[in-house]
Every structure is written in C-alpha cells, then in structure tokens.
Amino acid sequence: MIRQPVPENFPTDDYTERLFYIQAQSMHAVSYWRQVMNESVHKHVEEQYAELGIDVEAAIEQLKSVPLSLHCWQTDDVGGFEAPDSKLPGGGIQVTGNYPGKARTIAEMRQDLEKVTSLLPGRHRLSLHTIYGEFDGKSVERTEIGPEHFQGWIEWARSQGMSLDLNGTFFSHPNADDGFTLSHPDPGIREFWIEHGKRSREIAAVMGKTLGSPAILNTWIPDGAKDLPIDRLGYRERLRDSLDAMLAEKISKEYMKDAVETKLFGIGSESYVVGSHEFYMGYAQSRDTIICLDMGHFHPTESVADKLSSVYLFFDELLLHVSRPVRWDSDHVVIFNDDLADLTRELVRCGRIADTHIGLDFFDATMNRIGAYAIGARAVLKGLLAAMLEPTVLLRKYDREANAFARLALLEQARTLPFGTIWNRYCEETGVVGDSRLIADVLDYEKTVLNRR
C-alpha cells in the first residue's frame, strides 16, 4: 500500500479516528456525486416531458390534491367487528385465502391503516362499512346501529387528518342468506334492510358533519339469483320502492351524499342481479343520487373507462370502485394495467377529477394484506400521475386534425417516457418509499407486526 503524506491540518493523530475520518470523507463524496447524477437525470427526464408540452411539477401538484377513499375491508377480509370473533363474509361476498396477519381488532386495523397511509403519497379518506363499528363485544343488530358506534372512528380519523365515507352492510347476515334484501318478497325483511339503510345514512351524516367533509354513503346490495327468476320486474319494483323509503328523509349534501352501486352478475347471482346498471342509471338519475361504477361489475370485455364520458354528461358526481376483475370474479388486487390507465386517463381528459370520488374495492387474503393494499392504492395514484403527464394538448390537436397516425404514434411515444423516475421521486420527496424499497418495507412490517398477531 502506498502511504500518502498526512496533510498538516489532519484532525487527529489517532489511527482509528483517521480511518473514520477518511471513510466519512469518501462517503460524503459518493453521496455528493449521487446527488449531482440524480439532478442531471431528473433534468433530462423533465426535458423529455417539456418537449411534449408537459409540466411535470404542475402534474405532481395536481396529484397531491386528489384523495383516494381507502377501503378498510382489505385489512380483515371484509370480516367486521360485529361479534367478538369476526366471521367469514357471506351473502354475495367471497374472500379466498388465509394468509397470516389479518387485523383482528379495531386497534390492529388502525395500526394497519396507519401503515398503509405511510406508504401512500398524498392525503386520503377512509371508507368504512357499518360492520366495523365499535360494538364493545356486544351484539348490536343492524337496525340498532347508530353514530355512537362510530365516535371512535371519527376521533381517530380526525387525529389522522382524514375524512370518512361509509357503506351500509347488506350481507353477512341471516336476513341476506337467501340472496335478497331490499327487493325481498317478504315485507318484514325489506323493512329490516330499509331501517338499516336509514341508520347508515344517519351515521354518514354525523361523520360528514363532524369532520367537515360530506361522507359518501354507498349502497350495494347482493340481491340476485343464480338461476332464472320469472318475475324480474317485481324484484326491481320492490327495490325501487325500498330505496325510496330508505332515502325519504332529506339530509343536507353538506353532510352526506347517497350513492348506489350497479352490478351485472356475481357469484351466486349469475342469472339475474336486481340492481343492474340500467336499473341504477335510471334510479340515480331520477332520484338525484350518485352512481357507483365498480370496475369488477361489468362484462369482462366492457370498458368502464368508456362509460365515464357518458355518465359525466348526466351526473354532477361519480363514485368509482377501483377493482380488478379476472374472468368471472372481481376484487383482485388492483395493478397498474391498461384498464386502470384507461380509466385514469378518462378522468383526467374529461377534466372531472374534482367531481369523482375514487374509492378502492378489492380484497385478497392469499398474500400480505398490507402489501396488497399498498400495491393497489399506489397503482391508482400511478395511473392518475401517468394520466396527468399525458401530452393531452398535442393529442387533442391531432384528434381535431383527424390525423390518426400522428395521434397513435404520440400515444406510443408517451408509453415509454420515463414515468417511473417521476413516480419514485414524488414518493421520496413526500417521505414515502419508492417502488424499489416497498418490498423490504412491507416485509419488515410483516416480520415485526403481522407475524406476531
């Protein structure tokens, strides 16, 4: 080894301290160069977007203002806390898998939700189901629930700087076991669910009023038939009338807003779903409620993205359930695929993000639930960012000129722009792990928290 002469102002004569000093100096130099390199890479990346008329900073600022409505039910497989031990979901909801680490209590669920939000840039909302109330181990009937069971959630949400949304729970209950609720031929069963719907609205109104942001109350019912019903009209008439009774009380939209969720078919309701897309388009339009489009509730070849520009023409607001259908089933973990990118592009191109409530709806118990949750929620944010970074002005120009070649060529060019660099930088600048650190981060949570449950 060649010994360098020691500089005169070298800090110390101690050999170990000298080694530390040299090490510190070289680490400093490495991190300096890394920073210089990063800056020049970023500059290069931003230039590529600027050439196409896209302002990266403006896109990031826009994304920061878009909240997702996070679905609490990914943390516990739609179990809820009605009984001391949460049950398996039923009545139209099916979750497969038994990966360890499921949230068993409200405290565990909040811990998981805090972990998930720490993995997401931006500020988001939380969407609860009425089965997630704080019932203190007592069995509280669905017709007996009230705002008092959600006081703890309201306080927790406030402490997190979050607002709340809600869903009435019309499944996992003996009165839903034969597949019908609000459209049931038995008036007693209909009454039961109408009352549950009214209670849910009341809770949502208190959530919205207390937290200063209207809670969206989404109503999805499992009503449908595996095989061929004859009186299709009768069920739909009863559903219309039950919903009318449930929504009869006028509640200020400053506190809560009603949404109704459409569906084409489900497991156990392959032949007939009472609350079909056509039913709810008509219902929501005539009753001035929001319509909820779940990406997993249509025929696999239908494009949910294409529906947006029609719905926006006739509705002021829209609720989305971002999900991923696979063959006949929905609710797979959302990923940044073409369906999602098409959807978020339409949101941005129509200029209606502010009128759209972006809810998540998927549940998978075959893998680390928090990891799955983060993948899905981050995918939606990626989709939004990618859409905001689209060269829309130029694309619209080619569109107007009917230059189909140039339009397609530019869409192809946009696909390979260095989007990932911007996404990761946005994450890191907001104190959230970039994609390359997500796996290690989630596995650490699994080891230190989930595996100890």
CB of 361 to Zn ion, least distance (A): 4
Phi, psi of 119 (to 5 degrees): -100, 5
220 is catalytic: yes
263 is catalytic: yes
Q: For residue 46, give Cα distances in angstroms to 54, 129, 251, 315, 432.
A: 9, 42, 47, 37, 21
Q: Of 47, 61, 155, 329, which residue is the catalytic one?
A: 329
Which residues are registered as beta bridge partners of 60? none
167 is in the binding site of which of Zn ion, ligand RNT, none (Cβ under 5 to 8 A by kind)?
ligand RNT
CB of 263 to ligand RNT, least distance (A): 6
- Hey, what are 128's tokens? 């609860």
* C-beta of 273 vs 414, nearer to ligand RNT: 273
- Hey, what are 26's tokens? 């070289």
CB of 216 to Zn ion, least distance (A): 12
What is the C-alpha separation between 128 and 6, in angstroms, rounded? 66
361 is catalytic: yes
342 is catalytic: no
When CB distances to ligand RNT are compared, the closest residue is 220
Say whether residue 321 binds Zn ion (CB under 5 A): yes
Among 422, 431, 328, 334, residue whose Cα is nearest residue 378:
334
Among 160, 248, 152, 169, residue whose Cα is nearest residue 207:
152
Alpha-helical segments (H) within 83-231: 106-118, 151-160, 187-211
329 is catalytic: yes
423 is catalytic: no
CB of 428 to ligand RNT, least distance (A): 33
Amino acid occupying residue 184: H
Say whether residue 361 binds Zn ion (CB under 5 A): yes
Q: Of 321, 346, 382, 390, which residue is the catalytic one?
A: 321
Please choose, out of 112-120, 225-233, 314-322, 336-344, the segment that lies near Zn ion by the rule CB under 5 A: 314-322
Say whether residue 165 binds Zn ion (CB under 5 A): no
What is the C-alpha separation between 212 and 131, in angstroms, rounded? 23
CB of 328 to ligand RNT, least distance (A): 12
8 is catalytic: no
Q: Of 220, 307, 346, 357, which residue is the catalytic one?
A: 220
What is the C-alpha separation between 174 and 172, in angstroms, rounded? 7
3-state secondary structure of 142: coil
Residues from 289 through 308 that contact Zn ion (CB under 5 A): 294
Inter-axis angle of helices 435-448 and 369-388, to 10 degrees?
Answer: 160
Let me know: does 270 contact 298? Beta carbons within 8 Å: no
CB of 320 to ligand RNT, least distance (A): 11
338 is catalytic: no
What is the C-alpha separation between 411 and 68, in angstroms, rounded? 27
Q: Which regions of 279-397 does DSSP assign to beta strands (E)?
A: 290-294, 318-322, 324-326, 329-332, 356-360
297 is catalytic: yes
* C-beta of 220 vs 255, nearer to ligand RNT: 220
Which residues are registered as beta bridge partners of 106? none
Q: Of 77, 223, 261, 317, which residue is the catalytic one?
A: 261
Tell me the Cα Rg of the chain: 26
Q: Of 46, 76, 331, 339, which residue is the catalytic one?
A: 331
Enumerate binding residues for ligand RNT (CB under 6 A): 73, 78, 93, 167, 220, 261, 263, 266, 294, 321, 361
CB of 60 to ligand RNT, least distance (A): 30
Catalytic residue list? 220, 261, 263, 294, 297, 321, 329, 331, 361
What is the contact surface with Zn ion in residues (CB under 5 A)? 294, 321, 361
